[in-house]
Amino acid sequence: MELGLKNKVALVAASSRGLGKAVAWSLAREGAKLVICARNKKVLEETADEILMETGVTVFPLAIDLTDAERIDWLIRETLDLFGKVDILVTNAGGPPPGDFIELNENDWKKSIELTLMSVVRLTRAVIPAMKEQKWGRIIHMASASVKQPIQGLFLSNAIRPAVIGLTKSLSQELAPDQITVNAVCPGYFSTNRVKELLRNKAKQSKKSVEQIEKDLISQIPLGRMGNPEEFGYFVAFLASERAGYVTGTSFQIDGGFVKGLM
């Protein structure tokens, strides 16, 4: 299937590693031009070079911290200056730290709300005028399977991410007349640095080996394995494409069957 992504301009946030990088790759393979971002400039530039070398698409790496509101405005201005438009926005960021309620302080909450919710609000708000003007847009918010089934030990994610889903649904109604779709993607467990770190953290707390913790986790995934980030990237590329034009206001879990609820 031809996805119709050739020469679309995509801004993929938090995309030097992990799921964001996989999304950037999959869009680039379909011919989309990219702006990618993350804090570590060196790793980000290496990722941009890798993508450029393999796909030949234009990739601009712009180093920013997504908790900095002014830098987000700068990022969008730069994207518009470089390409004159932005067709696709994928909001992503690092995950909030693990912890049970009793362990989390005021600062943990404030920092996590800035990273997990406010970065989404700011990125989305900043791209809307340009998308409205061209009467076409795809906004895809990164969430987590935790919005469908809270995950033990990830209290901040469980509590804050549902706000992103509320934003996704409300915004989809508001932007539909301008042919801008807004959806959320909810990964289960993919093999990335973040998940490796969470496994190590859990192993330390429970005094089990990392291998045992991983085995226990995989036993809860009906497909019997963690996802490969590429599998996530392909799904997002479809959602970002011309072909998904009638899909809006929906949250998709991509989780190998991990979430046991009906919806």
Backbone angles phi, psi at 66, to 5 degrees: -75, 0
Q: How distant, in Å, are the alpha carbons of 98, 124, 208, 211 from that of 202?
A: 9, 33, 8, 11
Closest CA to 245 of 168, 153, 172: 172
Q: Does 132 bind ligand NAP (CB under 6 A)?
A: no
Coil, helix or strand at residue 22: helix
Residue 245 has φ and ψ, to the nearest 5°, of -65, -15
Cα→Cα distances 53→3, 12, 48, Å:
22, 18, 9
Nearer to ligand NAP, 4 or 153 (CB): 153
Judged by CB under 6 A, the chain residues 163 through 192 that form the site for ligand NAP are 187, 189-190, 192
Give the shortest CB-41-to-ligand NAP separation in angstroms: 8
Residue 20 binds ligand NAP (CB under 6 A):
yes
**Is 111 a binder of ligand NAP (CB under 6 A)?**
no
Distance CA 21, CA 37 (A): 10
Q: How far is the CB of 262 from ligand NAP (least distance, A)?
A: 20
Stretch touching ligand NAP by CB under 6 A, among 64-72, 102-110, 200-208, 216-224: 64-72
Position 73 contacts ligand NAP (CB under 6 A) = no
SS (H, E, C) 132-162: HHHCCEEEEEECCHHHCCCCCCEHHHHHHHH
Q: Is 93 in the site for ligand NAP (CB under 6 A)?
A: yes
By CB under 6 A, residue 35 contacts ligand NAP: no
Among 194, 203, 217, 243, binds ligand NAP (CB under 6 A): 194
The answer to the question of residue 43 lying near ligand NAP (CB under 6 A) is: yes
Count of C-beta atoms within a 10 Å radius of residue 263: 6
Nearest to 62 by CA among 50, 84, 47, 45: 45
Q: Rounded to the nearest whole angstrom, what is the least distance from the CB of residue 176 to ligand NAP in the complex?
A: 26
| Contacting residue, 9, 11, 12, 14, with ligand NAP by CB under 6 A | 14
Q: Within the chain, where are the H helices?
A: 18-29, 41-55, 69-83, 106-112, 119-134, 155-175, 193-206, 210-218, 229-239
Nearer to ligand NAP, 175 or 254 (CB): 254
94 touches ligand NAP by CB under 6 A: yes
Q: What is the CA radius of gyration of the chain?
A: 18
Min dist. Cβ of residue 94 to ligand NAP (A): 3
Name which position in 9, 23, 32, 38 contacts ligand NAP (CB under 6 A). Answer: 38
Candidates 127, 142, 156, 213: give the one binding ligand NAP (CB under 6 A).
142
Binding test (CB under 6 A) with ligand NAP, winner from 3, 10, 16, 126: 16
Binding site for ligand NAP (CB under 6 A): 14-20, 38-40, 43, 65-67, 92-95, 115, 142, 144, 187, 189-190, 192-195
